[in-house]
A and B are shown apart, each in its own frame.
Chain A
Amino acid sequence: MGTLLSAIAFGLILASVIAIAGMGFTLQFGLTNVLNLSFGAVMTVGGFAAYLARDHGVSAWYGLAIGGAVGAVVTLAIGRGLFRLYARRGAQLLEMIMVTLGLGLVINYAIQAISRNNIYQFNVLQSAPLHLGAVTITPTQAILIGIAVVVFVGLEAVLRLTKIGTALRAMAAEPSLARSCGIRTGRVVIITWLLSGFLCGMAGVVYIINSQSVGYATGELFLPLVIAAALLGGAGSPAGAVAAAIVMGVVTEVVSAYGGPQFSTAAGFGILVLVLICRPRAVLGDRGRETRLTL
Chain B
Amino acid sequence: MRWSITKSGAAVIAVGLAAAACGSSGTGAATGHAPLVLAGVVAFTGSSDFEAQNNEGGLYPAIYAINKAGGVLGHKLVYKAVDTKADPADALPAMQQAMATTSNLVLVAGPDTASAPALVPVLNSAKIPMTAVAGESVYNTNTLPYFWRLFPPDSANGTAMALWAQRKGYTRVAAVFGTDSGSQGDLPGVLASLKALNIKVVANVSLTPDQPTYSSSVRQVMASHPQVIMTESDATTAGTFFGELKQLGGLVPIIGTEATFTAPWLKAVGGVLGSSFGSDYSALITAPSQPTAATTAYQQAVKAVKSTEPTPWQSYLSNPFSITYWDGVMVVALAMNAAHSTDPAVFNKFIPQVANPGPGKTVVYTYAQGVAALKAGKQIQYIGATGLIDFNQYHNSFGDQEAVASNGSAQPKELGAVTAKQIEAVPVKGVA
Chain A residues with CB under 8 Å of chain B are 3, 6-7, 10, 13-14, 17, 112, 116-119, 121, 123, 126, 128-129, 136-138, 140-141, 207, 210-213, 215, 217, 221-222, 253, 256-257, 260-262, 264-265
Chain B residues, CB < 8 A from A257 = 216, 219-220
Chain B residues, CB < 8 A from A261 = 205-208, 211, 214, 216-217
A206 to chain B, nearest CB (A): 9
Q: A119-B267, A136-B248 are in contact. Are A253 and B216 (CB under 8 A)?
A: yes
Q: A121-B268, A253-B215 are in contact. Are A129 and B239 (CB under 8 A)?
A: no
* Nearest neighbor of A207 in chain B, beta-carbon distance: B212
Q: A3-B219, A121-B267 are in contact. Are A221 and B210 (CB under 8 A)?
A: yes
Known: A14-B213, A138-B248, A212-B239. 13 other contacts (CB 8 A): A7-B216, A13-B213, A117-B49, A121-B267, A121-B272, A141-B215, A211-B213, A211-B239, A213-B243, A213-B271, A217-B47, A261-B205, A264-B211
B213 touches A119 (CB 8 A): no
B272 touches A212 (CB 8 A): yes
Chain A residues, CB < 8 A from B240 = 211-213
Chain B residues with CB under 8 Å of chain A are 45, 47, 49-50, 52-53, 179, 205-208, 210-217, 219-220, 235-236, 239-240, 243-244, 246-249, 264, 267-268, 271-272, 274, 310-311
Chain B residues, CB < 8 A from A265 = 208, 211
* Nearest neighbor of A225 in chain B, beta-carbon distance: B212
Chain B residues, CB < 8 A from A222 = 212
CA distance A256 to B210 in the complex (A): 14
Chain B residues, CB < 8 A from A121 = 239, 267-268, 271-272
Prevailing SS type, chain B contact patch? helix
Chain A residues, CB < 8 A from B211 = 261, 264-265
Chain A residues, CB < 8 A from B239 = 119, 121, 211-213
Complex A-B: 6 CB contacts under 8 Å: A13-B215, A14-B212, A123-B243, A136-B219, A213-B271, A222-B212
Count of inter-chain pairs, beta carbons less than 8 A: 111
B247 to chain A, nearest CB (A): 4
CA distance A126 to B126 in the complex (A): 55
B235 touches A264 (CB 8 A): no
A117 to chain B, nearest CB (A): 5
A10 touches B268 (CB 8 A): no
Chain A residues, CB < 8 A from B244 = 138, 212
CA distance A112 to B49 in the complex (A): 11
Chain A residues, CB < 8 A from B268 = 119, 121, 213
B326 to chain A, nearest CB (A): 21
B216, B247, B249, B272: which contacts A264 (Cβ < 8 A)?
A: B216
- A-B CB proximity, top 4 nearest: A121-B271, A10-B215, A256-B216, A212-B243
B236 touches A215 (CB 8 A): yes
A117 touches B50 (CB 8 A): yes
CA distance A257 to B274 in the complex (A): 28
CA distance A253 to B208 in the complex (A): 13
Q: A117-B49, A261-B208 are in contact. Are A129 and B248 (CB under 8 A)?
A: yes
A6, A14, A123, A217: which contacts B210 (Cβ < 8 A)?
A: A217
- Chain A CB count within 10 A is highest, among B179, B207, B208, B215, for B215
CA distance A205 to B25 in the complex (A): 48
* Nearest neighbor of A136 in chain B, beta-carbon distance: B248
CA distance A137 to B310 in the complex (A): 37
CA distance A222 to B209 in the complex (A): 11
B117 to chain A, nearest CB (A): 21
A118 touches B311 (CB 8 A): yes
B184 to chain A, nearest CB (A): 10
* Nearest neighbor of B179 in chain A, beta-carbon distance: A262
B141 to chain A, nearest CB (A): 30
Chain B residues, CB < 8 A from A136 = 219, 248-249
CA distance A119 to B52 in the complex (A): 15
Chain A residues, CB < 8 A from B207 = 261
B313 to chain A, nearest CB (A): 11
A129, A141, A260: which contacts B206 (Cβ < 8 A)?
A: A260
CA distance A140 to B235 in the complex (A): 21
A6 touches B216 (CB 8 A): yes
A201 to chain B, nearest CB (A): 16
CA distance A273 to B206 in the complex (A): 24
Chain A residues, CB < 8 A from B213 = 10, 13-14, 17, 210-211
* Nearest neighbor of B270 in chain A, beta-carbon distance: A121
A234 to chain B, nearest CB (A): 23
B271 touches A123 (CB 8 A): yes
* Nearest neighbor of B246 in chain A, beta-carbon distance: A126
Q: A10-B215, A207-B212, A261-B216 are in contact. Are A128 and B249 (CB under 8 A)?
A: yes
Chain A residues, CB < 8 A from B53 = 117
A129 touches B247 (CB 8 A): yes
Chain A residues, CB < 8 A from B47 = 217
* Nearest neighbor of A17 in chain B, beta-carbon distance: B212
Chain B residues, CB < 8 A from A211 = 212-213, 236, 239-240, 243
CA distance A220 to B369 in the complex (A): 50
Q: A136-B248, A213-B268, A261-B207 are in contact. Are A119 and B214 (CB under 8 A)?
A: no
Q: A123-B271, A129-B248, A257-B216 are in contact. Are A116 and B310 (CB under 8 A)?
A: yes
Chain A residues, CB < 8 A from B217 = 256, 261
CA distance A257 to B240 in the complex (A): 17
CA distance A221 to B243 in the complex (A): 19
A86 to chain B, nearest CB (A): 27
B138 to chain A, nearest CB (A): 23
CA distance A17 to B210 in the complex (A): 14
Q: A126-B274, A253-B215 are in contact. Are A118 and B210 (CB under 8 A)?
A: no
CA distance A210 to B213 in the complex (A): 7
B218 to chain A, nearest CB (A): 9
* Nearest neighbor of A217 in chain B, beta-carbon distance: B210
CA distance A260 to B248 in the complex (A): 20
A172 to chain B, nearest CB (A): 28
* Nearest neighbor of B264 in chain A, beta-carbon distance: A119
CA distance A217 to B236 in the complex (A): 10
